[in-house]
Amino acid sequence: MTRLRIDFAPARSWAARPFMWIALALALGWCGYEAWRYRELVAAHQALQSDLSAAHSRIGEMAGRTAAKSQVSARDWNQAVRTAAQLNAPWGRLLEEVQLSVGDKVALLSMEADVATASLRLQAEAKDVDALVAFAGRLRAVAGFGDVALESHQVSLQDPLLPVRFSVALRVNPALIDAPIAFEAGWPR
């Protein structure tokens, strides 16, 4: 008895299909190209990393030289902070409060703000002493002023209405100009 082979599918012959060999060759070529590109990218990445670390070391050296040149003493730093705080005091709001405190019986003649001493000096004229006292009371009620002092006053005897010309010194409330920043070692950076 002879062996009978029943196969309903056609025989597969890899050699008979050249396009499969071509596709395999193209795929292998593509993989080789991508491997070559990956190796190039890794080399470029390593070069950039070395450049970056060299730049970081140069920056560190420059920062060390700059810090050595620009050391600021604690006294100088605190003085600079106090000066900045005095300049940043809410002068506009304080002057507006003075304007609102004037009333109809007081005429404001001049205002002089002194940033260095955080004070304000007013020259004004009141119809009478009672208006002067009321004006000073309104100024004391303003939260922005820590101290209100009458420096001088003069009653004009030549005028039949007897107006009072006076000078008031106002000290800005220290809470408004206290420096919130203290000296820290190494500042400024």
Confidence (pLDDT) at 72: 67
Confidence (pLDDT) at 76: 80
Confidence (pLDDT) at 179: 43
Q: Does position 189 have pLDDT exceeding 50, yes or no?
A: no
The predicted model gives 44-55 an average pLDDT of 92
Contact 171, 146 (CB under 8 A): yes
| Full-model pTM | 0.50
Give pLDDT tens digits for 51-85. 999 998 888 888 776 655 566 677 787 788 777 77
The predicted model gives 15-20 an average pLDDT of 72
Confidence (pLDDT) at 178: 55
Give pLDDT tens digits for 88-142. 777 778 888 888 888 889 999 998 888 777 788 999 999 998 998 999 888 888 8
Domain assignments of the chain as residue spans, ordered by start: 18-71, 81-177
- Averaged pLDDT score across all residues of the chain: 81
What does the DSSP assignment read for 69-137? HT---HHHHHHHHHHHHHHTS-HHHHHHHHHHH--SSEEEEEEEEETTTTEEEEEEEESSHHHHHHHHH
Pick the CATH number of 81-177 from 3.40.30.10, 3.40.50.620, 3.40.50.1370, 3.30.1360.100: 3.30.1360.100
Q: Does position 33 have pLDDT exceeding 90, yes or no?
A: yes
